[in-house]
Amino acid sequence: MKLSRRALVSLTVALTVGILLLAINLTGSGKTKDVVLVTHDSFVMSKEFIADFNKSSGFNLKLLKAGDVGALTNRLILTKAAPIGDAVFGIDNTFQAAALSGKIIDGRLTPTDFGDVCFNYDKIWFEKRNITPPTSIKELTLLQYKGLTVVENPNLSSTGLSFLAASIDKFGATGWEPYWRSLKNNGVKVVNGWEAAYYTEFSGSSGKGAYPIVLSYASSPASEVRANGKSQTANILDGCFRQTEFVGLLKNAKNSAGGAAIVKYLLTPKFQASFPEAMYMYPITPGTPIPPAWSKFTQIAPHTYGDTLNFDANRKSWLAKWSAIFG
């Protein structure tokens, strides 16, 4: 194929002009009616809710998923001069302090929902083998539970970090490292994220993995109800961590009014009621109706650990110490 000189020149010029036009067009977007809600990857808001919000507020809602809670928070910190949205949903109590000291939030973070990070176990697995399932996190270090537990890496997973915090709170500054060492010696498996732990490694889920004890949520048994009307899994209600998620307005937001409107909307009763089914979390507003399966198969932990620790000040040293045990 031989291109004539003229053809090449005009092609080049056309391409350059085209790209410039596109660029100008795209960077100039963002009408004042648009409101961008930045969320973590697990946020779910149905089309009906989006339409309802748009109708009631007069704004045009756009969702922007920006990674896991860590990636989300740090992305917002790096870009705070010109934030990528107007409001943020999904910063939790493990990143709350980082978000506040990073000065990305206008005003305060408002809690929207919570969930208890607890161990689940596969009831059928234990019944078949006639082994009594563990009732506390301390028991996970016992010989009879050797090689049965899978947890998430706290460096990469907020679920994993939650349990690390709970163990630090429960066993104290001098006790948590020996606890993790004995967990390691007892063959605990560490994987990168919740989905890998729950869907790939755990024996009680659809993945039919090899580990009958998994670090998950107190609400998870509601999703494992079998044909006989019983859940295959149950909670270990000791050593749980209460994860609370927040919504907040971003500093320097282009559309503060729109941001404030979406913050408010996430706290309306109808949206609050969607949290269990859509995001497997409990609504923060007391008295919000809960799905029947939830009231039957899930419990809220009677006592939780670690959720008020100072993550911003200690995360680095906790993770370094934890990594030293597993590195």
Cβ contacts of 239 within 8 Å, gap of 6 or more: 118, 119, 136, 137, 138, 163, 166, 167, 170, 305
* 51 vs 127, beta carbon nearer other proteins: 51
Other Cβ atoms closer than 10 A to 106: 17
* 265 vs 311, beta carbon nearer other proteins: 311
Pick the piece of the chain touching other proteins (CB under 8 A) from 11-19, 114-122, 162-170, 287-295.
Answer: 11-19
**Among the residues of the chain, which ranges form H helices?**
5-27, 47-57, 69-78, 96-101, 123-129, 158-185, 194-195, 256-265, 269-272, 275-279, 292-297, 311-326
117-156 binders of other proteins (CB under 8 A): 153, 155-156
CB of 83 to other proteins, least distance (A): 8
The answer to whether 78 contacts other proteins (rule: CB under 8 A) is yes
The answer to whether 35 contacts other proteins (rule: CB under 8 A) is no
Other Cβ atoms closer than 10 A to 211: 23
| Residue tagged 């056309």 (tokens) | 14
The answer to whether 316 contacts other proteins (rule: CB under 8 A) is yes
Helix (H, G, I), strand (E, B) or coil at 284: coil
Pick the piece of the chain touching other proteins (CB under 8 A) from 4-12, 168-176, 234-242, 289-297.
Answer: 4-12
* Cα 253 to Cα 164: distance, rounded to the nearest angstrom: 34
CB of 303 to other proteins, least distance (A): 28
* Cα 8 to Cα 226: distance, rounded to the nearest angstrom: 66
The answer to whether 13 contacts other proteins (rule: CB under 8 A) is no
The answer to whether 319 contacts other proteins (rule: CB under 8 A) is yes
Return phi, psi of residue 241, to 5°.
-120, 130
Q: Which residues bind other proteins (CB under 8 A)?
A: 2, 5, 8, 12, 15, 19, 23, 26-27, 30, 41-42, 44, 63-68, 70-71, 74-75, 77-82, 84, 153, 155-156, 190-196, 199-200, 206-207, 278, 315-316, 319-320, 323-324, 326-327
